[in-house]
Amino acid sequence: MSPQHGSNLALPVTDPALEARLSERLIEVEKALYGHVQSRFPYVTEAASHLLDAGGKRFRPLLVLLAAEAGEHPTADEVLTAACVVEITHVGSLYHDDVMDEAALRRGADSANARWDNHVAILTGDFLFARSSELTATLGADAVRIQAETFTRLVEGQILETVKPGPGADPLAHYLDVVAGKTGSLIATSARYGARFGGAGPEIEEALAAYGEIVGSAFQLSDDILDIASESAESGKTPGTDLREGVPTLPVLMAQASTDPEDARLLELLAADLTDDDRHAEALDLLRKHPAMDEARAYVIARAEEAKALLVVLPDGPVRTALESFADVVAVRSV
């Protein structure tokens, strides 16, 4: 276990006092997480701790802690519990994601399905969802309702990802629903929980939840752009990985909506098997030059601005600045 420290915070916090408080509380969250995934049976504990051991940015619990700073009692015990709820829910979903994707690695370590098997990975994810539900129950009936609604959307997003849009449906709208469900929903709840249990008023809670939904989805969409645009030396990832695997992403879907006859070759390639290196390289080159890239960037920037506009209900100060800065990071990283 490697607790998070200030310089490694997943959100851009420039105020030294706020950074120090969040770093200390994130260490408390990290310790609590390991306590919450303990089982009576060592085998279950080992499996449930596996992806926690692999690390992660702990972005969702950090957002809980930051949103709580908008309230009158940001250090309330309920805030810490809520931070654990969202992270355990997120980690549980990763076990299921890896089974669906047949992934061999997660965060640089063997995925649970690779280390054990699919059955263990699925049931471990279920165990973590159960633990997050137990924790949520201590936060009251309304928190249980919010968690249930969030989990419904998360699973809907996972299911929608496995199916193509129906006849006459807009592929881009379908994809945006997937992203909102899989990514936006839990980040929205993270911000909502922080505001609520930190003692912020209803107006701030609703604004931060809406902010979380938008900026969380936009962050995933900026990843889509980086998958095409970045060089491996810059991002640490192999460019065009989603493209090679046939995973629909924002710039690809925008390009596929083109009716320009000059795009015929690109559309032909996007409909083909791109595991072939030559076809993949050609498609990547054409896509990088296509107006869809700027269209996708403009969409993400607009969403980031929309998220920032919601923060007007917060007073000027380090909390609002940190949240605005994160929206800026989302926009800039796609440019």
pLDDT per residue as tens digits for the range 213-253:
999 999 999 999 998 987 754 544 577 888 888 888 999 99
Q: Of the spans 55-64, 115-124, 190-199, which averages the highest pLDDT? A: 190-199
Task: State pLDDT tens for residues 161-175.
Answer: 889 888 889 999 999
Going by pLDDT thresholds of 50, 70 and 90, the confidence category of residue 330 is confident
| Architecture of the domain spanning 202-334 | Orthogonal Bundle (1.10)
Is the domain spanning 14-200 CATH 2.130.10.10? The answer is no
Every domain of the chain with CATH number 1.10.600.10 lies at 14-200, 202-334
- Output the pLDDT for position 302: 96
Q: Lowest mean pLDDT: which of 75-84, 156-165, 184-193?
A: 156-165
Averaged confidence pLDDT in the chain: 89
CB 99 within 8 A of CB 119: no
